[in-house]
Amino acid sequence: MADEYWFLALNGPSCAMSAFPLRKPFDVFPRPEFLIGFEDEEEARRYQQLFLTCPPEDLPKHGAMLRARPDVIILSVEDSEPRTTGQTVWVQH
C-alpha cells in the first residue's frame, strides 16, 4: 500500500478530487459520505469523471468493484455533512 493517495470525496452527486496526494490523517470540509484513495492521479481523475457522469443507481456497483482492490482505500466518513455547492477544502495534518 502507498503512503499517499489521491482522494475523491463523494457526497451524493458531488465528487471532488484532492489537488495533491494526501496521507492520513487529514480533514475534508464539508465532510463527504465517502473518501476513496487511489495511488495513481490519472486513475483518480478517471474515476472522478465516472462518478460525476454515471447514473446514481450504478454507484454501488462501482464502489463494490473498488472495495475488492487492495490498492484502493475506501473510508466511510462519520458525521458527513449535507451537500453544498461550494468548494471542497482539504487539510493535511
The structural domains of the chain, with segments of one domain joined by +, span 6-92
The model's pLDDT over 17-71, given as tens digits with 9 standing for 90+, comes to 999 999 988 999 989 999 999 999 999 999 999 999 999 889 889 989 999 999 9
Angle 44-46-47 (CA atoms, 0-180°, nearest 5)? Answer: 65
Total residue length of the chain: 93
User: Which residues, in sequence order, are CB contacts of 14 under 8 Å at separation 6+?
Assistant: 32, 83
- In this predicted structure, the answer to whether residue 86 has a pLDDT above a threshold of 90 is no
- The stretch 3-22 carries a mean pLDDT of 92
pLDDT at 87: 82
pLDDT at 48: 96
- In this predicted structure, the answer to whether residue 83 has a pLDDT above a threshold of 80 is no
Show the cell assigned to 24. 492520513
- In this predicted structure, the answer to whether residue 1 has a pLDDT above a threshold of 70 is no
